[in-house]
Chains A and B, each alone.
Chain A
Amino acid sequence: MNLSRREQLTGRVFLIALIVVTLLPFVSMLSAALQPRGTVPSGLEWPSDPQWGNFADAFTAANMGALLRSSLLIVAGVVPVSVLIATMAGFGLGQLRVPGGRLVFGLFLLGLTLPFEAVVTPLYYQMQDLGLLNTRWAIILPLIGLYMPFAVFWMRAHFTNVPVELSEAARVDGSSTWQLFWRVQVPLARPAIASLTILMFLWTWNQFLLAIVLVDDATKRTMAGALGAFQGQWGTDLVLLCAGSLLILTPTLIVFLIFQRQFIKALIQGSVKG
């Protein structure tokens, strides 16, 4: 690298400024969350007597236990099924190359840029007809469908790049298509599957629009949907709102920090491939 020292220094300074700007909202929220209840906090001001108890209050006020359980149930309903059927479809389209597969794939591509707002109204009436409104199924089922364009696209991209000779060799050995899929292809696809799983977990956990439209009860929503309700309820109590928001963020942050490397890889690949 032939960068002059000065340029490198400016680059660093910019990066650090960027980091500060990224972190400030969190720090400001924390400083507000630690003020005594009932006071009016201002911008960024470390409290003389930090009220960590506010978090306990927020935990109760937000009904965190129920929220966590609800979000986990929704994730459990959406992610494994989506990953499985998208992997199967990717395998069918990318490896088995079913006749008419191009057409089907084109159909999936149609949905890649689709804003959820474009289908949320009919989905509401559809869920009403199915009697699923205000249940977690109203979030789970549509999300699986809405994830398919990206998920199938993603898995197909992986399977297209696996040499077909591999499948042919397995067939010569007399294995059935399912054995070929489950024993040979899926283990090889593990990195692609892992990234997809991470992205879907994140998107589900953070899904807001479907949650507020299709489910009224905050304790049956996703985390993001519940946070929206929490803001509606405690919007005027800034201290509690900040404490509750930080609390609701914590599970995501913990998961992110644990799987940080995989997350970043998935997010970079996810946007580049998309």
Chain B
Amino acid sequence: MKKMRFCLALLLFLLPLSLTGCDMFAEKAEEGQDVLYVYSWGDYIDAEMLKKFEEETGIHVVLDEYDTNESMYPRIAEGAEDYDVLCPSDYMVSKLIRNGLLQPLDFEQLPHARQYIGEDFFRQVKTFDREGKYTVPYCWGTVGIIYNTRLVDDPVDSWQILWNEKYRDNILMQDSARDSLMIPLKLMGKSMNTLDESELMAARDMLIEQKPLVQAYGVDDIRDKMISGEAALGVTFSGEAINMIDANEDLAFLLAPKEGTNVWIDGWVIPKSARHPENAHKFIDFMCRPDVAVTNFRHLGYSTPNTAVKAQVAEELGDNAYLAFPPEEVYEGQESYRYLGEKLDKIYTRIWLQVKNSR
């Protein structure tokens, strides 16, 4: 999810906006055929599993992909297309709910979800989907600190290390307003979903103060820079961290600094405008089946809330099993992002601009 394909985004941005209408529904289903329109993150489902779903149910799946929550939202909001299943992140789920764009799920039709998705994740879902009626979690992770053990000799247990003068020009931050402001907010003991502007301004000032120590604000490039030893410390997501550690064994990852961190969840939801809600339920339940969840996990590497997966893959993961399946105390009680409303969105954008613009 957060793995934003930077290059792809650039290319997409270059495409004339007038052409966006042309790629709707890459393929049209034949008349009368049972179909399902899925709109999900790029490369978020193992292709074999889609084939398997089609074979087992006879439902033809049409898959469209997006690379940011923000590019997905307007297509749903404007009602231009009737997708049946989406896979947005936490705060986007709450934005969709708030604007009345989702329909409640019928958990009677989701036996596998009820059986295999961990109870604690349904609890975590309630931080952005208050009644827990709309979302079945699919992938999750934390935002933590990846660090190079050869370059960092202090204990890494707190966000505070990102303000340590010793690591000047050795720190990589996320190029995202939400993920960056979350850190100083947590350091101050505030909520990452705060609506209090003065808290946000204080957080902004901390980021401005930190900026001279920051080597770069990155997206995907954080991975390359950490692997090559170009930087000592970086803020990244747990799923990504496993890939980095596989590539460079000097790296280690702190899942949750002691001040607390963000637990993100991407989940399946059904838009109100869905024309095949029954098929959508079948699909969501299929994705929760242990054999399917295992295959998807192997393909993706992101943590799964599916309780049946761990036993099957723990051995092949070795030391990384701790990162892929963190114990409950790591994520218990952590916050997830919630949609803060349009006004706060603008403030976040503005603050982020001020941070990046400062000297």
Query: Are A and B a genuine interacting pair, yes or no?
Result: no
Q: Which residues of A contact B (CB under 8 A)?
A: none
